Amino acid sequence: MEQFCNKDCFDQDKDVIAPLYGKASINFVKGEGSYLFDADGHKYLDFVSGIAVNALGHAFPAVVTAIQEQAAKFTHVSNLYPNELQVKLARKLLADSPYTKAFFCNSGTEANEAAIKFARKYFNRIGQPDRVQIVTFFNSFHGRTFGALSATGQPALQEGFGSMPGGFSHVAWNDTSALKAMVNEKTCAIMLEPLAAEGGVLTISPEMVTTINDLRNEFGCLVITDEIQTGLGRLGLFYGADIYGLKSDITTLAKAIGAGLPLGATLMRGKVADILKAGDHGTTFGGNPIACAAGLVVVNEIKKPLFLETVRTRSQQLKAGLSQLASKYSFLGDVRGEGLLLGLCSEKPVADIITLLRKEGLLVHRAGANVLRFLPPLNVSAEEIEEALQKLDNALAQVV
């Protein structure tokens, strides 16, 4: 089959693909561990990881084998039948967690749709049908389908799509007074990311964690933690909420869980699971066997002894290196984040820095308008982090 060079791919993409993304002119043709290779022969150190998806890097051998083996058996049977791989994956996700049941879907936004529906159904079934209000935060990101978009506290993303589903209120991130004023006995759920990733790599304050835990106790509202980006070890513990002591009733996963295949999960405590009935919700593809086979490899790897300890060590190394660069270049500001979800603030346009970095062979992403976001694979090596810091230094030296 003919292979496009970088420019051809970019130009032809513009011809036939809906113009919804600001794409770079690259045609990746191969991935290996923390590296990607393009059609023009360039090599890149990948600190985007498909936006926090490729936790084990590219072409992780056990993932490749699991996908190949399952594809040769069957690719789909539907949710009319139990699926052994779903069961095994659910058991791994639920182990050592407060959750007792899992619902599998295909993406982050769907995992959040399910969480919102389950939370509302819970109060409906226990005789409080008016309890539908979901309180979320400005600068949050929960997805692009209508329910998840309504939860997302970014008016610009909602604009032009007509009326959003009602019952969602937003308060400022870390504003405990605003949250206390908003939550009452009509509140169905408080929904939040343990760390607001897309909104600018914003960490949660200890006061906010205490406030949410207290409001949950006082009013019996549910807490939904969106761990789509923060979960599966990205912050240094399997569930990001545990780092902060944030209590949760429903949590959502996607991104890293399927090793790049479309997979999402909504995990819930027993009291929520117990009220659900057949037909309340569903999906044709959710929990697809190939995605679950890949997911099992991911979760087994992350749960190996020392894996998360190493993530935390690498995090310290990357954080220290970023802080050094922040002291060297006056246009750089705070280093933010947790684990291997780190942000570096810049007064100079981050889009320009990202372009310079690409030329140096380092891929990074942005978060909000002025934050460079670093999302290396969770199994990144110490040498690769040093290489990234060197490339970053080279690029920053060219910023005018």
Ligand X SMILES: Cc1ncc(COP(=O)(O)O)c(C=O)c1O
Determine the Cα–Cα distance for residues 39 and 36; give it in Å rounded to an integer: 10
Task: For residue 293, count CB atoms less than 10 angstroms from its CB and return exposed for 0-12, middle for 13-18, buried for 19 or more.
Answer: buried
Shortest spacing between CB 53 and ligand X, in angstroms: 9
User: Cβ-closest residue to ligand X?
Assistant: 108
Select 141 or 168, whichever has its Cβ closest to ligand X: 141
Binding residues for ligand X, rule: CB under 6 A, are: 51, 107-109, 112, 141-143, 193, 197-198, 226, 228-229, 254
- The nearest distance, CB 390 to ligand X, in angstroms, is 29
Look at the chain and count its residues: 400
The smaller minimum CB distance to ligand X, of residues 126 and 172, is found at 172
Picking from 183, 174, 251, 240, the residue whose alpha carbon sits closest to that of residue 210 is 174
Work out how close the CB of 284 gets to ligand X at its nearest, in angstroms, rounded to a whole number.
Answer: 17
Residue 67 tokens, joined: 């996908």
Cα gap 323→13, rounded to integer Å: 38
Q: Do residues 258 and 295 touch, judged by C-beta distance below 8 A?
A: yes
Smallest distance from ligand X to CB 336, Å: 16
Give 133 or 136: the residue with its C-beta nearer to ligand X. 136
Minimal distance, residue 266 CB to ligand X, in Å = 12
With beta carbons less than 8 A apart as the criterion, state whether 297 and 259 touch. Answer: yes
The smaller minimum CB distance to ligand X, of residues 50 and 361, is found at: 50
Q: Which CB atom, from 172 or from 181, has the smaller least distance to ligand X?
A: 172
139 vs 229, which CB is nearer to ligand X?
A: 229
Supply the minimum distance, in Å, between the C-beta of residue 103 and ligand X.
15
Burial readout 148-182 (b: 16 or more C-beta within 10 A, e: otherwise) = bbbbbbbeeeeeeeeeeeebbebbebbbbebbeeb
